[in-house]
Amino acid sequence: MMTICYPNNPTSAIANEDFFKKAVEFAKHYDLIICHDNAYSEISYGGYKPISILEIDKEKKVSIEFHSLSKSFSMAGWRIGFVVGN
């Protein structure tokens, strides 16, 4: 299992499409699952649009993605989230 988190909190690091393509290739080669923590997918600045790993791994063969409503919609006390994958 490989865990990634972009956009990242607290560093605000971001990953581009090339990074995700390489991560998916790496996971396929080494028979890994990528867990992408994408809780900040709706929060961005300067015209940057966060990328979902599922845009790269369209068949969802090596990746799952976690989302949270608490970050984007100020629902911290609600503890609502979801996972997308296969």
Measured between alpha carbons, how far is residue 10 from residues 5, 22, 26, 33, 57 in Å? Answer: 11, 24, 26, 24, 26
Which pTM does this prediction carry? 0.86
In which band, very low, low, confident or very high, does the pLDDT at 60 lie, cut at 50, 70 and 90? Answer: very high
CATH for the 2-85 domain, from 1.10.3720.10, 3.30.428.10, 3.90.180.10, 3.40.640.10: 3.40.640.10
Q: What are the residue ranges spanned by the domains of the chain?
A: 2-85
Mean pLDDT of 13-41: 95
Higher pLDDT, 68 or 35: 35
Residue 54 has pLDDT above 90, yes or no: yes
Residue 21 has pLDDT above 90, yes or no: yes
Mean pLDDT of 21-26: 97
